[in-house]
Chains A and B, each alone.
Chain A
Amino acid sequence: MPPVFGTYDLDVELAEQHIELSLKGDGKRKVYRRQVNDDEVTKYINADRGKLIVCPVEPVNAPDESISEHLLIELERPLLIEPGSTDTFYLKFPVEVGSFLVDPTDVERIDIFTLTKPKYTLYGPPESGIICKWWKSDVYSTAPEVDRLFEGVLRVKITNNYREWMELAKLVFGAFDMKIFYNDHAYMDARLVIEKRTIGETSFNARKPKGMHRAVDIYEAKGLKKLEKSYVIEWGFK
Chain B
Amino acid sequence: MNLHINLQGAVMDFWTMELGDMGMTVGELVTFVLIIAISVVIARIVRVNTRRIMKERVPKNTLSNLEKLFYYGIIIIGFVVALSSIGFSLSGLLVAGGIMGIVIGFASQTVVSNLISGLFLIVEKPIKVGDSVNIDGVDGVVEDVRILSTTVRTFDGVYTRLPNDKVFSSNIQNYVAHGGRRFSYSIGIRYRDDADRAKEVIMGLLEAHPLILKEPAPQVFVDGLGDSSVNLKVRMWAPSTHWYGVYTEMLWKLKVALEENGIQIPFPQRVVWFENALKGDIATRRDNAG
Interface set of A (CB-CB < 8 Å, partner B): 63-64, 66-68, 117-124, 126-131, 134
Known: A64-B242, A66-B241, A67-B241. A120 touches B211 (CB 8 A): yes
Interface residue? B214 (CB, 8 A) = yes
Partner of A122, one of B208, B215, B242: B215
With A and B bound together, what is the CA distance between A131 and B181 in angstroms? 11
Q: Among B213, B214, B216, find the residue whose CB has the most chain A CB atoms closer than 10 A.
A: B214
Chain B, interface residues (CB within 8 Å), range = 10 to 19
A-facing mask of B209-237, CB < 8 A → 1, else 0?
A: 01101111000000000000000000001
Known: A67-B242, A128-B178. A122 touches B237 (CB 8 A): yes
User: Chain B: interface secondary structure?
Assistant: loop
Note all chain A residues with C-beta closer than 8 A to B211.
67, 120
* Further pairs besides A122-B216, A124-B179, A129-B178: 11, Cβ < 8 Å: A64-B242, A66-B241, A119-B210, A120-B211, A120-B213, A126-B178, A126-B179, A130-B179, A131-B179, A131-B213, A131-B239
A58 to chain B, nearest CB (A): 17
Note all chain A residues with C-beta closer than 8 A to B59.
none
With A and B bound together, what is the CA distance between A121 and B215 in angstroms? 5
Known: A64-B242, A68-B239, A122-B213. A117 touches B208 (CB 8 A): yes
Note all chain A residues with C-beta closer than 8 A to B210.
63, 117-120
Interface residue? B27 (CB, 8 A) = no
User: Chain A: interface secondary structure?
Assistant: loop
With A and B bound together, what is the CA distance between A64 and B241 in angstroms? 11
Number of A-B residue pairs having CB atoms within 8 Å of each other in the complex: 44
A-facing mask of B3-40, CB < 8 A → 1, else 0?
A: 00000000000000000000000000000000000000
B247 to chain A, nearest CB (A): 15
A63 to chain B, nearest CB (A): 6
Is A131 a contact partner of B214 (Cβ separation < 8 A)?
A: no
Is B214 a contact partner of A129 (Cβ separation < 8 A)?
A: no
Q: A66: nearest residue on chain B (CB-CB)? A: B241
A118 to chain B, nearest CB (A): 4
Q: B210: nearest residue on chain A (CB-CB)? A: A118
Is A129 a contact partner of B242 (Cβ separation < 8 A)?
A: no
Partner of B214, one of A66, A68, A126, A134: A134
Known: A120-B239, A126-B216. A131 touches B180 (CB 8 A): yes
Note all chain B residues with C-beta closer than 8 A to A63.
210
With A and B bound together, what is the CA distance between A63 and B246 in angstroms? 14
Is B241 a contact partner of A126 (Cβ separation < 8 A)?
A: no
Note all chain A residues with C-beta closer than 8 A to B213.
120-122, 131
Note all chain A residues with C-beta closer than 8 A to B214.
119-121, 134
With A and B bound together, what is the CA distance between A68 and B179 in angstroms? 10
